[in-house]
Amino acid sequence: MSHSHAHEMEMNKNAVVKGQVLMVATSCGSFPNTDIPTGLWLSELAEPYWVLKNAGYDVTLASPNGGAVPVDPVSLAGDAKTPEAERMLHD
């Protein structure tokens, strides 16, 4: 690959990204003073995430405490598990 072609590809890659988005999700994995699990309602993050990604934005996910984001188990069942949520689980 020539230097000019590599430079052109880099410019095209940069042109595709419209901007950067930071999405911050919860670090809380249970209700206060209980062992009852809670966390992110997955579709509430997944749906805007895929809209932004598909529109060409560079999306970064973060949590207040760092590390994994706990997912509310109820959000993974039945109608709550949207196609976007399913896609996020496998991405």
The answer to pTM > 0.95 is: no
Reported as a pLDDT band with limits 50, 70 and 90, residue 79 is very high
- pLDDT at residue 16 above 70? no
Q: What is the DSSP string of 2-27?
A: -HHHHHHHHHHHHHH---EEEEE---
Residue with tokens 């970064």: 60
Q: Where are the domains of the chain?
A: 19-89
Question: What integer pLDDT is reported at residue 91 of this predicted model?
Answer: 84
Summarised one tens digit per residue, pLDDT across range 56-76 is 999 999 999 999 999 999 999
Taking residues 49-53, report their average pLDDT: 96
In order, the DSSP letters of 21-83 are EEEE-----B-TTS--B--B-HHHHHHHHHHHHHTT-EEEEE-TTSSPPPB-GGGGSGGGS-H
Mean pLDDT, the chain, whole residue set: 88
